[in-house]
A = this chain, B = another copy of it.
């Protein structure tokens, strides 16, 4: 059902139908009414695609999400989708592989869809290959990067101070009198993980709980996956090597859930014997027993910030700043 079909039925030209559809003036009220009912009766739906071809904008935003179990990130994407839906923008979600090449390919791939703007979910996209792909394939299109930094005049980054946050976590535990703090990192293949690690190191340095880097290293563990099982396995290992652990910082809430489980099993009281902090402030922090104290790294808030900037940008108001940093904060619950 096209405007031509309707036009034929109404005995008018397609232009008139177009005018009616878009509420433009210059149509006889009588004709307008006639066309309108015809439109209704035939369940006519305009083809936004064809529209976009002529108006040169598609009312679509591309959102790239890396594959793998990063439910929290997906929650953020979902949130952005909601905001865009409100202003009648569609969201094309593209799940990309995790390698730099696959991420870059995602840029090319989404460009095919002629989207008006692009959102990159997560620090995984913050690398040179992706930056080059952006400059190649969409040098003028607004690109928003969540939780990472990227060069480019058209790239807007919203990052969260995870480094400072992790450092604050260490200080927080030290203030509570903890002396033997273990850090369980998530898989180190993203800038975000690196930032968190740096933050932990900084916190250790500033509080002076360990005497040197070599000493500190002994208290740092790395998970392969960011899931509960992984947290469990590492905690077992950590307790074996450091029976006197009295503080624990996990790079994700999921890892913390696993770690907490081990503590329960061993009859270790939380937080009396070991205090625990996670990162993400996700639903898992709430599902954990006891409720998990967690560093809010502002993923959802960043998404919201991006959505706002995105919508403004789509309406012609270019963001003034290319980089925004959201400060993190510790949300204290029952494990500290």
Contacts and interface: CB of A to CB of B under 8 A. Distances in A.
A52 interface: yes
Contacts of A283: 71, 228, 254, 284
A interface residue count range (under 10 / 10 to 19 / 20 to 34 / 35 or more) = 35 or more
Contacts of A46: 112
Contacts of A136: 43
Contacts of A52: 49
A184 to B, nearest CB: 16
A261 B228 CA distance: 19
A137 B49 contact: no
A110 to B, nearest CB: 8
A82 interface: yes
Contact of A113 (B48, B108, B284): B48
B288 A45 contact: no
Interface in A187-232: 228
A287 interface: yes
Nearest to A291: B261
Interface string A274-290: 00000000011011110
Contacts of A114: 47-49
Interface in A70-87: 71, 74-75, 78, 81-82, 85
A267 B261 CA distance: 18
Contacts of A92: 60, 90-93
Interface in A241-261: 254, 257, 260-261
Contacts of A289: 260-261, 264, 288-289
Contacts of A109: 88
A95 interface: yes
A314 B96 CA distance: 21
A75 B52 CA distance: 30
Nearest to A253: B287
A169 interface: no
Interface of A: 43, 45-50, 52-53, 58, 60, 65, 67, 71, 74-75, 78, 81-82, 85, 88, 90-96, 108-109, 111-114, 136-137, 228, 254, 257, 260-261, 264, 283-284, 286-289, 291
10 contacts: A47-B112, A49-B53, A49-B58, A49-B113, A60-B92, A78-B95, A92-B92, A228-B286, A261-B289, A284-B287
Given A48-B113, A85-B96, 12 more contacts: A45-B111, A45-B112, A71-B71, A71-B283, A78-B95, A82-B95, A85-B94, A90-B93, A90-B113, A254-B287, A257-B286, A261-B291
Cβ-closest 5 pairs across A and B: A48-B112, A43-B136, A82-B95, A287-B287, A289-B289
